[in-house]
Amino acid sequence: MAQTVYKNDSGQIMFGNSGNVFCVPYDFKKATNNRTGIGAWLKIAGFEVTYPYTLVMWVDLQHSITSNTNPIWAMHSTEDDIIVRNTWYYGACYHRIQLNYTASGGGSSYVICNLGTGTTVEKGKHLSVFRVNSSNVPRYNIDTKSYGGSSTYMPTDPIDEVWLGAGSFANSSSPSNLAQWGDTFNRTLMYNRYLSTAEILYMLNNGSGRDPLTKDGLVFDIYPNKAESLDFSADQDGSDMRCGIRDNSGNLIHAQIMGIADGTVAEQVEYSNTSVLKNFID
Amino acid sequence: MIPKIAVIQTVNFDASNYSEVIQDKFVDITQNETAYKKLFAFNNYIDDYDFDFVFDSIDGYEAWLLEGVDTTITKVAYDWENDKAYITIADTNFPGPHEFDCTEEWTIEDCQNAINEKFNIA
């Protein structure tokens, strides 16, 4: 049977991890919120990065973001109990290239790639990139419950958790804010280096699903095609099995699916594959 | 499988009455000054067991929690770079900080009015 080559919204042919051309139908999957439950989100832990670092994430927003209470991702440093959270003025990066943008409330010594159009992030598919090359990054201050200002800049503490689809105001252990209903998340990569603009543009131009230009410095690579029962134990001895999404970097930094109902891991995996993950590209 | 939320008053709770899979998954909550144990689990761990209230959605559960929300203000903070006020309240289920647009420092009455409006309290 003849197959149809898949093209993205820009008419570009897309390739899989193996280099094969995607054909229709291609079963893209992603993590999404499910308000029937409580709101699923992904927690990635078990790593540690200090600047420079870069987070790259494909998202499909079902609503325009006009408030900073709609988190797409958050970073957490348990050492100093602080959170770096995306907002359009604190480091999110979206479609429509506008490089070397300096976020309001932030200094000029760090450069973010803002692909937005001012203060509103439009709904649609975006490549969110947050790259840091200095400690001068705004952070959420747990004590004062506020953002901005040099006193709340992030120190040199390592980032050791990334939350996808969730952020927090109230505390650093669990989210009090989730992405808006229907917002979805596809491939997400963390690097322990400052990605070049050329590397970001490469990913942007090739669309969701394709391998990055290089895996040099890759910390994790979460490609949410399916939920699995994964071993989160340090010794990899099967003593800590959880429902999650596999890390394709080879570093075993899997993403745990949070916010889903309690039950056996097998039940959570089955539920996640049927209700939490759904097609990223419709 | 359908996820559900169920609660039972703490005074009536006995973990051994429930499946071993979820016996350690109950969390403490307070609604309208009454202590409850809450379980968020798949329906097979809830439908055939004893609970006071069962909710099919987070919206239904939150509406029930709101029946007894404590709106006593405990902290107010401002972010003047973005003209926001962040108000924390005493309620354990919805402590906040709750975000509001704000261009100048509010009186405690302003803060209380904003919180009351958010929680639809006359």
Among A85-94, A249-258, B54-63, B103-112, the minimum mean pLDDT is found in: A85-94
Q: What is the pLDDT of residues A45-82, one digit of tens each?
A: 999 988 778 888 777 777 665 554 556 677 776 665 55
Under DSSP, is residue A57 helix (H, G, I), strand (E, B) or coil? strand
Under DSSP, is residue A270 helix (H, G, I), strand (E, B) or coil? helix
Let me know how many helices (H) and strands (E) chain B has, helices first: 2, 7
**Quick check: A158 pLDDT over 70?**
yes
Check if B63 contacts A (Cβ < 8 Å). no
| Cis before B97 (ω within 30) | yes
pLDDT of residue A96: 26
The one-character DSSP state at A261 is: P
Contact assignment for A145 to B82 by CB distance below 8 Å: no
Q: Mean pLDDT over all residues of chain A? A: 67
Contact assignment for A149 to B81 by CB distance below 8 Å: yes
Closest-CA residue to A195 (of A270, A128, A246) = A128
For testing the chain B interface, which of A88, A145, A178, A260 should be mutated: the one with the most B CBs within 10 Å? A145
- The DSSP code sequence of A69-132 is TS-SEEEEETTTTEEEE--TTTT---SS---SB--TTS-SSS-B---S-SS-BPSEEEEEEEEE
Confidence band, pLDDT 50/70/90 cuts, at residue A122: low
Residue count of chain B, please give it.
Answer: 122
For testing the chain A interface, which of B7, B27, B42, B44 should be mutated: the one with the most A CBs within 10 Å? B42
ipTM, interface predicted TM-score of the complex:
0.77
Contact assignment for B75 to A145 by CB distance below 8 Å: yes
User: What sign for the dihedral angle of Cα B30, B31, B36, B40?
Assistant: negative
Stronger pLDDT, B42 or A28, i.e. the higher one: B42
Q: Which two tokens stand for residue A155?
A: 């120190």
A interface with B, Cβ–Cβ < 8 A, is 35-39, 67-69, 89, 104-105, 144-149, 169-170, 260-264, 267, 270-271
pLDDT of residue B38: 95
Under DSSP, is residue B118 helix (H, G, I), strand (E, B) or coil? helix
Q: Which residues of A57-82 are buried (b: 16+ CB within 10 A; e: fewer)?
A: bbbbbeeebeebbbbbbbbbbeeeeb
Closest-CA residue to A190 (of A222, A228, A146) = A222
What's phi and psi for A156, nearest 5 deg?
-90, 10
Q: What is the pLDDT of residues A255-274, one digit of tens each?
A: 999 888 999 999 999 998 88
Q: Which of A145, A261, A267 sits opposite B97 (nearest CB)?
A: A145
pTM: 0.75
Chain B's closest residue to A169, CA to CA, is B97
